[in-house]
Structure 1
Amino acid sequence: MTRALTMALAALGGAAAAQAVLEVPSGQGVTLYQVVLEQEAERARFLFLAPGIALEDGAGLGFEAVVGDFPWLCDRVILPALAENGWAARQVVIAMSDREIAFGERDAEAVQFFEAFAVEDGACVLEVF
């Protein structure tokens, strides 16, 4: 199930926050553009636009440069948004991409990084793929 962006960001201050650029620990600005709730799997997917990421050295921020952004987003943005909206999730998957890609679609040109977290005792715990 896909939810409106404004609902997902209610914990950040309502509709105005829906287009908010969040500065994450790497220093890049990311914007949440889609939330997908998979109720049966108890999974929440949060897709962020991160135009500064890149696979090539010198072309942008690589995975190692942004890896610390994932737990920060999970703990400081996603868990509060889930709680504020009364949503339950046992797993959170965070995607960053250099362009908006709708969930389930492919774009061979896009750079995408992913991390998954278990939600245990109100905290995000990194899951290794």
Structure 2
Amino acid sequence: MRHKAVLRLSALLGALALAAACQEDPPPGEVVTVPSGRALSLIDIVTNAPGPAGATARFRFLAPGLSPDDAEAAAADMQALCDSFAIKRIDGMVPAPQQIVISFASEAVPFGEAAPEVVQFFESYRPENGACAWEVF
């Protein structure tokens, strides 16, 4: 009886490993293309910290060389990322995100920590009919 339980557990763990390997999400560090041509890499996706609108999916990107002068280009890149990258990845999230936040940082900063020396931009969007509607943040 114990042998069967061990086999079942092994099979379950193997299936979970295969399912994880089949995810569409790029692994942290994978480079993502944006319209400005800036090389971004995914830091992480945070879903366990609610925002002002409730369930929130935060897509955090490393943007080396980001400067305060890049705000306009970054805003266009964030909209493009929300429409082509983030919106596809919120399907099936529980609870369903009511808000998507895209952020760029010139250096990796742990989520929730202040880093005044690091240039960071944030934009907020509302998922609406399969697209991202920009919201004042």
TM-score, normalized by length of structure 2? 0.73
Determine the C-alpha separation between the residues in 1 that align with 2:24 and 2:88: 6
Give the share of equivalent positions with the same residue, in percent: 39
Give the number of the structure whose residues are more often strand, by fraction.
1
Residue matched to 1:125: 133
SS in 2 for 1:95: strand
Displacement of 1:82 after TM fit?
Answer: 1.8
1:34 aligns with 2:68: no
Q: Give the AA of the match of 1:20.
A: E
Residue matched to 2:28: 18
SS in 2 for 1:79: helix
Conserved in 2, the CA contact under 8 Å of 1:90 and 1:120? no
- Alignment size in residue pairs: 111
Give the number of the structure whose residues are more often helix, by fraction.
2
- Structure 1 gaps of 5+ residues are 1-6
SS in 2 for 1:11: coil
Alignment of 1:53-92 (within 5 A): 53-55=66-68, 57=69, 62-83=70-91, 86-87=92-93, 88-92=96-100
Question: For the aligned residues, what is the CA RMSD?
Answer: 1.8
1:47 aligns with 2:60: yes
Displacement of 1:123 after TM fit?
Answer: 1.2
Determine the C-alpha separation between the residues in 1 that align with 2:115 and 2:28: 24
Displacement of 1:22 after TM fit?
Answer: 1.0
Q: Which has the larger radius of gyration?
A: 2
Distance 1:116 1:110, change over 3 A: same
